Amino acid sequence: MMGMDRSALEIVIGLEARKLARATVVRVATAAALVLVMATTAGGYAAAMHAGDTDLGRKAASMVTSPGWDGYTALGATSVSVTMLLAVGVVMSWSTGREFTDGTIVGLFAIPPALRTIATAKMLVTLSWAVLLGAGEAVLLMTAGLLLGLGAAGATGCFATLLLVSVVLSAGVLPVMWAATRWRGYLAGIGLTLAILVVTNLAAGFGLGTYTPWSIPVAWTMTHDDVSTLLLVVPVMTAAIGAWVTLRSWDRLQLGTD
């Protein structure tokens, strides 16, 4: 039975990966995230360092907490958090919610793989894409930092930090898959994504970054001395809860009920 389940999971993962690779929403989310993170981080840092007498330069300078790689990485973490939360939240919502809005959920009841297996495959595939996107953002920002004249010594640390932030945040967005399942459509998941984004930005703006799961990674990046690394467990726990409630919801799905 375990072998059959594993085989079924591998098959469904392959199907979900192909759907994700062909989806326009995924391509748009990927391109937009990469372009925006470069523009806001590399462009913002360049403006802060070389155009400080302009309005844009002054605004950018206020977001750079320190010179060198530390300040650049902190600015990058802020950009990565916004782009990853939005892109991953939208794609996760689409991956789950489209089954309901397109009516394909009916067919899923008629095929052999259990609904839990399908939900697991969706989570694994979207998280794998999110890790690749996060790695892409980290590589781009590290390269941009080198081109901006930052020393090579801190490049690896910048990459590792930004990759960690992107992965932790992506996993922490899993509750949107539950929302898309609970309210049977991707709009519910996108709505929760936007709510998470607003709450995260408000928490960061009011100095409460350590009080929400999605702002903790950025707060940790900006102030290592004041924010314990152990707090990163909070978004990981959020991810685990999101995965559990999503699987539970798919286990209990019934046709013709809300």
Encode pLDDT of 185-203 as tens digits: 999 999 999 999 999 989 9
Residue type, 196: I
Position 109 scores a pLDDT of 87
pLDDT beyond 60 at 76: yes
The DSSP 8-state label assigned to residue 26 in this structure reads: H
Model confidence at 34, pLDDT cuts 50, 70, 90, reads very high
Model pTM score? 0.93
Furthest CA-CA distance within the chain: 68
- As a whole number of angstroms, the distance between CA 93 and CA 242 comes to 13
Contact of 148 with 219, CB cutoff 8 Å: no
Closest C-alpha among 49, 55, 128 to residue 92: 128
The neighbour count for residue 1, using CB atoms within 10 Å, is 5
pLDDT beyond 80 at 127: yes
The end-to-end CA distance of the chain, in Å, is: 31
* The two three-digit tokens of residue 107, written as one number: 């067919």
Arithmetic mean of pLDDT, 203-221: 90
Arithmetic mean of pLDDT, 123-139: 98
Average pLDDT of the chain is 91
- As a whole number of angstroms, the distance between CA 54 and CA 240 comes to 45
Q: Going by C-beta distance under 8 Å and a sequence separation of 6 or more, which residues neighbour residue 1? A: none
* The two three-digit tokens of residue 136, written as one number: 């892409």
